[in-house]
Structure 1
Amino acid sequence: MGNRVFALFMLPFLLFCAVPVQAAEKEERTWQDEAIYFIMVDRFNNMDPTNDQDVNVNDPKGYHGGDLKGVTAKLDYIKDMGFTAIWLTPIFKNEPGGYHGYWIQDFYKVDPHFGTMEDLKTLVKEAHKRNMKVILDFVANHTGYHHPWLNDPAKKDWFHEKKEIFDWNDQKQAENGWIYGLPDLAQENPEVKRYLIDAAKWWIKQTDIDGYRLDTVRHVPKSFWKEFSKEVKSVKKDFLLLGEVWADDPRYIADYGKYGIDGFIDYPLYNAVTTTLTKRDQSLRPLYDVWEYNKTFYDRPYLLGTFLDNHDTVRFTKLALDNKQNPISRTKLALSYLFSAPGIPIMYYGTEIAMNGGEDPDNRRLMNFRADDEIIQYIKKLGELRKQLPSLRRGDFTLLYEKDGMAVFKRQYKEETTVIAINNTSKTQKVHITNEQLAPGKELRGLLAGDLVRSDSEGYDIIINRETAEFYVVADKTGINIPFIAALVAVYALFALFLYFAKKRSKRTT
């Protein structure tokens, strides 16, 4: 009986504390609505011991046993965090030692360390059952160091002359040089071009994947990408091409968009993120400045992939630790920005457990699914809010306030307005937002921490604890809720009657 009494007593408080969230309008899903979880297959999850040849988890450059079945087994884990797509490092057959997938030996086979073609097809089917998309990494720039073509006289002109890149700003050197000594394919050769395009189309037809992340885009001629994009997209509607153009100048990156590539990995934003969010009391203005550039230079700025780290960079956690910061609070704050700012958030596996790691290969450690889940639970909140609120995926983006690391942003889509407050300082901050910046006479309903800010005649006063964030929806003031009060009175009346009859029954039995 005690449990029933407690539940009845708590009901009105639960009703009172509930904050309604505006329902997302039913609109056709686009790529800017996605959130991507990025997986290095070999370092993620080992579910098939039969393909564990050469595995040595103590060798940072060796195979660690992750496979496609392991990814399939964790689809629910990924979806529960709010991710709607996965991106896999290359799964094509590599030469020995190519645990990462970038030393391709055969463009038409699945690497046996990762499983079989059937395993890949199963993964895609299971992902699609969960309304998740699958992106494969496609490498068109080079092959592995010892590819059989290198010893084939008939394919001598399939590669550029072996030369290093001395001036990375020289476009000719960038496109023709051998990166890290990897044999550089001559895409201007019609046979090479046809082979790569046919292979890319074949994987789509065979497995029904949804997109490619294109590796080393700047090292391949733009004329190739123009034809590649056209032919690949003819196979499947709404197929995504997400390009990696590793450069600091957004104008240089954006130019590749003229050749059919839909979106790009946003390295300029990554640079701003690592500068501002790996330690406290850093201005967040550089993050917004990147968006201003993106709006100016890109045709589709909402299709830029935003990220904290990846398999080619030092882990975000390592940067935070180097700055003597708590990596958990730093990661939560940084993800708050990624999930609320324009772009497609891409999270590298292990970020959800604040995985540490320096330069390659230390940034590719084996995933630990038994680690603390504090960040995971936070990501689930972020993912759910991004799903529920179209303004966080499609809305415009305005900076309302920024001072020394305390920032307030506004996103608006149709009739929905959200306000994102991020305190990147070491102290609690109070910010005043005027009626000119936000519609007067409303209230801000906090969705991460449950804060409630009511406007007064001067505007809104937002108070945010240090190193935390809050997402607000702008809504009409609740005022006096007559139906709620009536329901509250009724509940207490029923509770009193329950106690009366319980006491009366107790007397009869004694």
Structure 2
Amino acid sequence: MKNMNKIFTGTILLLLLSAYVTNAQNEIKDIIKPLSLTAGKTDSIKISDSFYSENYDIKVKDNQKIKTKYDKSNGYLYFTPNLDNSDMGLINFELEGETYSYPYKSRIEKKYKFSYKPDKEYKKLTLFGSFNGWDRGNLPLTDNDGDGVYEAEVALEPGRYEYKFFGDGIEIVDPVNPDKKPNGMGDFNSLFFVKEEIKKPVFLHIDNYQKKNENICFSFVYQNGNRNEQITYDNLIPLLNNKKIAEEKIKIDNKRIVITFKKDELKGDNLIRLAVSQNGDNTNIQSIYLQDGKPIGNGSDFNWHDATIYSLMIDRFYDGNKKLNNPIEHDSLSEKANYNGGDFLGVIKKLKEGYFKNLGINTIWISPVYDNPNGAYREYPEPHRFYTGYHGYWPISSDKTEEQFGTMEELKTIVAEAKKQNIKILLDFVSHHVHKEHPLFKEHPDWFGTLELPDGRLNLRLWDEYRLTTWFEPYLPSFDFTKSLEGLDFMVSNAIWWLKETGAAGYRHDAVKHVPNEFWRELTRRIKKEIEIPENRSVYQIGETFGSYDLISSYVNNGQLNAQFNFNLYDTALPIILDPKSSFSVLDSEMKKSFNVYGENHLMGNIMDSHDKNRFMSFADGDLDLSAWSAIEEGWNNPPIVDHASSYKKGELYYAYMHSIPGLPVVYYGSEFGMTGASDPDNRRMMRFGKDLSKHESQMIGIVSKIINIRKNHSAFRYGDFNTLQADTNIYAYIRSDMNERVLIVLNKTPENVKVELSLPEFYKSKSAKDLMTNKSITISGSKLNSSIEGYGFRYYLIK
């Protein structure tokens, strides 16, 4: 009997242990992102976009402020905030006996009216602009009262917007609005400004981190202007990972909030999130990333927030094996559009020489490595120039590398050599199309859309009208994944194969908005199941989408992509930094808008230029007007040359900005020393090194390397909050704070030296500030910091 009792007891323990292990394995690992909701409006999210699980049998708990509904049949959660809900809070749900929370922020929508009184009759009138991704069809103008004035209302947040009217196929500039700007295509766009409401500052500050015996304490300070209202636990949105922090762990002393944990509660990777919501005033969300209870900083394991991405085009980077050089011969083909000799061995050579390591780079995104056709093809738009597939975006094979770049083994050597230096490699995956020579197009034509439309038009470059099926060129068939699940499955499997075969750390994805969400969901589901979980590593995926915040963000979540390039922020930053009349306040508003969409601590890619953009220096030096969206002919007929030394200072200023804001900086090859260029292919010139750089270029790469390494060595640049101190026509000053340090960033976009006096929060009790570029310190007196910033200059101050 005693033996039977032992067996019975042992069985119970094994069952309990098994249940514990199962729950631990099934616990939600993804950090559930905050929901952005509108009072009185129903919004939805596919639950698999919130977190990965083998089981989505959840039960949503009642919420007095938000009506919720979960439709298990389609996997969507629906939320409808009360009409008066302008708060932040938590929506709780149960999964397998555990309670988790969705943080949310609800806003009361404010609409703005656009009016147009036409001087002739139109069959169809619409409004379009930067607020709707330049969609010409989804905002109709109507004349409901018959007075001849057509109107449309749009909900807008503070910021600068460009717009036009569209009547029967004709774009119309607003005739009664004097504010307009050239659009780079021979016309103008009207401008509409929404100013930030002047309110007393509301901000949640980081205070400090302390170890007390077996306890770890994290303190915060709530700033709410001069108001004296007391806050309580009910005003807090406190989370450890995805679970609400219990009231007994939190102490509130006036405006100071202290959260205390036992050391054992914080083993492994964890995230503390905290915000305050009081009487409709909502703070920022503080995010404290932890490893074994200690705030992430120097010496911590790599997190994707630590990444600085270097983007290179293989053919244009470095020629490491001249035996491979075999440019395409064609009587109408320019050298600019042909193979120039860069290859895998060239990348390996520069890795071994320490070029990337010295620059401070820890992630390299390389252009597509697929085999491409051995011929020249004529571009569809006039003047119908010929191009080759030197860039890699015309795949003719799903598993072979381009012979002019090198072998699969050499590609694997790139990954292996980079790994030795703690550098991660991102491949460039093309899921939208193949070249017509690809066997897939020949063997499975049913996987692809048709070039000819029913109305007789060609489905070419109809970016918005036929977003998911449009062809880029007549020789680049577009997949139609909406009709072919077999094709979708093949391409997902192919993406998994490349990651496993090469050991790459992730992907840059091409033309994301032209591929349906279902593709990205299936790819990410399989990456998590087949790579991330069994191999215990994090795969980073960043996409390319031009469009509205709504469109871009629809692909950025735990179930699809980690990030996309933040083109909307770039489009604002470029003219603000280079135009002496524009105010940093507009950029600051755009920055806050991006936080509302992606969160304060996001992984979006911040760019200065790219292989699809005119290079920054062509604008800075005055070769291109800031409105020039496309400068193809300038690149062919009058390619930019940098003539002014001050342009390099402007480039350094942009780098200082780009490396000090939330998100991941993306360095496009050659921009580190100020390479110029107009539109493709002029922005893809051959890379230069060492003695081939001018004096000013050598000086700039030295400054840029210092900027990159400062971000690498100071965690506040990578994990800190964002507190604006000043944003006007000349100066942009903001503080980034994490639990390790505080850094003050000051940017001066004028050519003259500017003296600034900045007021720091009094509770800092700051005594001095160390310039991280020069190592010189200045005194802070009475919470006032006084400094002189040189023309086109910046300061990185470590506050002490």
TM-score, with normalisation over the residues of structure 1?
A: 0.84
Deviation at 1:95, TM superposition (A): 1.3
Report how far residue 70 of structure 1 moved: 0.4
User: What are the ranges of 5 or more consecutive residues in structure 1 without an aligned counterpart?
Assistant: 1-22, 476-510
Report Cα offsets for 1:361-381 as digits up to 9, x if no partner: 111010111213112111221
- Cα distance in 2 for partners of 1:80, 1:313 equals 26
Question: In 2 relative to 1, CA 273–284 (structure 1 residues): closer, same or farther, beyond 3 Å?
Answer: same
SS class of match (1:407): strand
Match of 1:285 among 585, 595, 600: 585
Please tell me whether the aligned partners of residues 250 and 293 of structure 1 are also in contact (alpha carbons under 8 angstroms). no
In structure 2, relative to structure 1, the CA distance for the partners of 1:192 and 1:423 (3 Å cut) is same
2:566 to 259, 263, 266: 266
Q: How does 1:369-408 map to 2 (within 5 A)?
A: 369=689, 370-372=692-694, 373-408=698-733
Q: Secondary structure at the match of 2:701?
A: helix
1:131 to 422, 437, 440: 422
More displaced, 455-464 or 137-146? 455-464
1:247-283 CA-to-partner distances (Å, cap 9, x unmatched) read: 2x22221111244211111101221222122354542
Q: CA deviation at 1:302?
A: 2.0
Q: Percent identity?
A: 30
Write out per-residue CA displacement over residues 303-355 of structure 1, whole angstroms, 9 at most, x where no aligned residue.
00001100011111111122686321111000001111111000100102211
| Residue deviations 1:420-470 (CA, integer Å, cap 9, x gap) | 011111221112112437724421111113443212236111211111111
Q: Distance in 2 between matches of 1:166 and 1:115?
A: 32
State how 1:73-472 maps to structure 2 within 5 Å. 73-75=349-351, 76-96=354-374, 97-152=388-443, 155-162=444-451, 163-164=458-459, 168-170=463-465, 173-181=466-474, 182-188=476-482, 189-233=484-528, 234-236=530-532, 237-247=537-547, 249-258=548-557, 259-280=559-580, 282-298=582-598, 301-322=601-622, 326-369=646-689, 370-372=692-694, 373-436=698-761, 439-457=764-782, 459-472=784-797
Q: Which fold has the larger relative contact order, with Cα–Cα distance below 8 Å and residues 6 or more apart in sequence?
A: 1
Task: Name the CA distance, whole Å, in 1 between partners of 2:346 and 2:647.
Answer: 27
Which SS does the other structure have where 2:337 is aligned? coil
Q: Aligned to 1:274, what secondary structure does the other structure show?
A: helix
Letter in 2 for 1:226: R
2:578 aligned counterpart, secondary structure: coil
CA distance, structure 2, for counterparts of residue 285 and residue 394 of structure 1: 23
Q: How big is the shift at 1:205? A: 1.3
Q: CA RMSD in A?
A: 2.1
| d(CA) in 1 for partners of 2:297, 2:303 | 14
Call closer, same or farther: CA 1:186–1:317 in 2, change over 3 Å.
same
Q: 1:427 & 1:465 partners in 2: Cα distance? A: 6
Q: Which moved more, 1:289-298 or 1:80-89?
A: 289-298
Is the 1:280–1:467 Cα contact (8 Å) retained in structure 2?
no
Distance 2:436 2:589 in 1: 41
C-alpha distance 71-84 of structure 1, shift in aligned 2 (>3 A): same
SS of the residue aligned with 2:319? coil
Aligned length: 448
Q: Once the two structures are superposed, what CA deviation does each residue of 1:198-232 show, in whole Å capped at 9, x if it has no partner?
A: 11111111110001001000000111110011112
Residue 39 of structure 1: aligned partner: 312
Matches of 2:600 and 2:392 in 1, distance apart?
29
Question: Structure 1 CA distance, aligned partners of 2:763 and 2:655?
Answer: 25
Query: Which consecutive segments of 4 or more residues in structure 1 shift more than 6 A?
Result: 55-58
1:2-41 equivalence runs, <5 A: 24-41=297-314
Q: Shift of the alpha carbon at 1:167?
A: 5.4
Contact 2:580 2:729 in 1 (8 A): no
- The 10-residue stretch of structure 1 (158-167 or 182-191) with the greater mean CA deviation from structure 2: 158-167
Q: Note the residue ranges of structure 2 that are not aligned, 5 or more in a row.
A: 1-295, 375-387, 452-457, 626-642
When you count strand as a share of all residues, which structure comes out higher?
2
Of residues 426-435 and 384-393 in structure 1, the stretch that sits farther from structure 2 once superposed is: 426-435
Greater helix proportion: 1
Distance (whole Å) between structure 1 residues aligned to residue 752 and residue 681 of structure 2: 37
Separation of aligned partners in 2, 1:333 and 1:265: 20
Range moving further from structure 2, 393-402 or 372-381: 372-381
Structure 2: how far apart are the matches of 1:131 and 1:58?
A: 39
User: Secondary structure in 2 aligned to 1:356?
Assistant: coil
Q: Which residue of 2 aligns with 1:5?
A: none
The 3 A distance-change label for structure 1 pair 341 and 426 is: same
Label 1:308 to 1:466 Cα distance change in 2 as closer, same or farther (>3 A): same
* Secondary structure of the corresponding residue to residue 277 of structure 1: helix
Secondary structure of 1:205's counterpart equals helix
2:398 aligns to what SS in structure 1?
A: strand
1:263 and 1:300 in contact (8 A); partners too: no
> TM-score by structure 2 length?
0.54
Deviation of 1:49 (Å):
1.3
How far apart are the structure 2 equivalents of 1:30 and 1:51?
37
CA distance in 2, matches of 1:55, 1:167: 30
Bigger CA drift: 122-131 or 282-291? 282-291
Deviates further, 351-360 or 130-139? 351-360
Give the distance between the partners of 1:45 and 1:437, measured in 2 at CA.
52
